[in-house]
Amino acid sequence: MNPILINLNSYKDERGEFYESYKDILLKQYYIDFNMIQENTCISNKYVIRGFHYQKEPHSQAKLLQVLNGKIIDIVINLETNEILKYVLDSKEKQLLYIPKGFAHGYGVLEDNTIVSYKTDNIYNKESEDGLNPYSLNIDWGINDPIISEKDKNLNYL
């Protein structure tokens, strides 16, 4: 299965906006069997690049990602084929990105105070974490002077 971008219905009036950010029956319409085990929230400054991260078996994870505030360039890499998929995710669009197991994931932050939330179908396991250096691919992040953790800079190249 490949990643799937799901547009959510949003309802606006004079009070503000409402949308269902997670609904199991909606995922089933896309043939996604997702059992949420953990949820993570990451708040980032503009020009940060995070990733590429993944968990090795038996602790691999599928992710259901949403930008709650701000805007990112989201990149997923199929670890079997090395296919690269790129998405621009903006909190104004109300979307979910389903990332199946077997994909490395990373993103570049395009706005300050960007908040990314992602649900996983398996618990985080430190011994199973792995990743790829964000510089290992010729990706145009749209960021001139990125902020990258030492941990991510030291990841292996693809």
Report the pLDDT value the prediction gives residue 158, as an integer from 0 to 100: 77
Over residues 102-118, the pLDDT tens digits come to 999 999 999 999 999 99
Our count of domains for the chain comes to 1
Report the pLDDT value the prediction gives residue 157, as an integer from 0 to 100: 87
Coil, strand or helix: which one is 92? helix
Report the pLDDT value the prediction gives residue 17, as an integer from 0 to 100: 93
The answer to whether residue 146 sits within a structural domain is: yes
The answer to whether residue 158 sits within a structural domain is: no
Number of helices (H), then strands (E), in the chain: 2, 12
CA gap 158, 155 in Å, rounded: 9
The answer to whether residue 127 sits within a structural domain is: yes
Known catalytic residue at 105: no
Report the pLDDT value the prediction gives residue 150, as an integer from 0 to 100: 94
> What domain range includes position 67?
4-153
CATH number of the domain residue 96 falls in: 2.60.120.10
Report the pLDDT value the prediction gives residue 147, as an integer from 0 to 100: 96
Kindly give the parts of the chain with pLDDT less than 70.
Answer: none
**Distance in Å from the first CA to the final CA of the chain:** 21
Q: Judge contact between 146 and 108, C-beta under 8 A.
A: yes
Query: Which residue among 22, 53, 87, 135 is the active-site one?
Result: 53
Report the pLDDT value the prediction gives residue 95, as an integer from 0 to 100: 96
Query: Which residue among 47, 54, 107, 118 is the active-site one?
Result: 118
The answer to whether residue 41 sits within a structural domain is: yes
Report the pLDDT value the prediction gives residue 62, as an integer from 0 to 100: 97
Sole residue written with tokens 């038996």: 58
Known catalytic residue at 53: yes
